[in-house]
Structure 1
Amino acid sequence: MRRRTFIKVGLIGGAILAAAGGAALWLKPAARDASTSEDARVVLRAVIPAILAGALPADGATRAREAALERTLAAIAALPPETRLELGELFALLAARPGRWLAGIDAWETADVEQTTRFLQHWRTHRLELFQAGYHALHDLVLGPWYADESTWPAIGYPGPPAL
């Protein structure tokens, strides 16, 4: 390949990438509040069983997962608006095809606990702190509301706070 051809191809390729990036930013949907986002519901339905593995009751697991989902969404709704929007971006990223590909998940609706656990552990031990922060956000968002609910205390042997 001659030098002039190489430069032309490079300039044309750069222009195409710049146009595609601009179009993606222009067409990007507005950030959604994570407490009302369908993306959040889809991702959390897959993540909750992996994070609460061993804590969910054997009987009534589906009902317990849905209750955990509602408590998690209620906790997200209590966060500041900026945080809810950031979480909405995280859930939108994870729900999109490139995000699912990076997570090693074909579809969150069909992901099993083992796949989701592998994804979470990969983020937990990732060398980049950004992924570790994403893991801790998901982990704390699920565990906080779960253990804050009195109905889950007997499963872990917690008698409740001492009476004063």
Structure 2
Amino acid sequence: MTTRRQFLQTGLAGGLLLNIAGCTRPSANGRRGTVIAAIAPVMLAGALGQEEREAAIARTVAGVETAIAGLALPVQEEIGELFDLLAFTPTRALAAGLWTDWAQATPGEIRAFLENWRHSRFDLLKSGYAALHDLIFGAWYAIPENWPGIGYPGPPEVK
């Protein structure tokens, strides 16, 4: 169980990290796609075939961008803060334990980051993992080119 002191410390640390990242707005500079392109292959490891891997990742990145654009503005801002945190090197290193840029990170490093956030004792990090998971998997499953690989024939035809 989280104590009051842990809750306050987590809130203060999270607020500080988000403010530092928010000052630079790296996600506004198109770095969000870089983060998604690095994380998606690790999350979708069992679903991606080798033959069209790059095309599938590019479609997934575009799908995540489309999904974010369809969210309410306050939610878009929260998602932007998450990607700001992950794109800015000092906050990424502190929050995710990843000092290298996303493009140079190994799948093992990314997998470790995702598992740490997924099983964190802090709900804020668990929520960040859930947002990344839902955005990436939602975008991937929404792409018709991916349906044959999972045996989904597509939505029923309405007559």
Same-fold status (TM-score > 0.5): yes
1:34-81 deviation digits (Å, cap 9, x = unpaired): 6x5523112111111111111112112111111110111111111111
Query: Hey, what's the Cα distance between the residues in 1 that align with 2:68 and 2:29?
Result: 11
**1:147-158 maps to which residues of 2 (within 5 A)?**
147-158=141-152
SS in 2 for 1:155: helix
Structure 1, unaligned runs of 5 or more:
1-20
Q: Name structure 2 gaps, 5 residues minimum.
A: 1-15
Please tell me whether residue 104 in structure 1 is matched to residue 97 in structure 2. Answer: yes
Q: Which amino acid aligns with 2:89?
A: R
Change (3 A) 1:37 1:56: farther
Residue equivalent to 1:94: 86
* Deviation string, structure 1 residues 87-113 (Cα, Å, up to 9, x no partner): 111111111122221312221120122
Deviations 1:96-139 (A, max 9, x none): 12222131222112012221111111100001111111000000
Question: How far apart, CA to CA, are the structure 2 residues paired with 1:84 and 1:162?
Answer: 31
Aligned partners of 2:134, 2:121: CA distance in 1, in Å? 20
Displacement of 1:145 after TM fit?
1.5
Tell me the number of residue pairs that the alignment of Structure 1 and Structure 2 aligns.
140
Determine the structure 2 residue equivalent to 1:159: 153
Which residue, 15, 30, 36 being the options, matches 1:44?
36
Per the normalisation by structure 2, the TM-score is 0.77
118-127 vs 51-60, which moves further: 51-60
Letter in 2 for 1:98: P
CA RMSD of aligned residues (A): 2.5
- TM-score, structure 1 as length reference: 0.75
Does the Cα contact within 8 Å between 1:37 and 1:88 map onto a contact in 2? no
Q: Classify the secondary structure of the residue corresponding to 2:120.
A: coil
* Aligned equivalent of 2:118: 124
CA contact (8 A) 2:59 2:143 kept: no
Identity of aligned residues (%): 39
Equivalent position amino acid for 2:73 in 1 = P
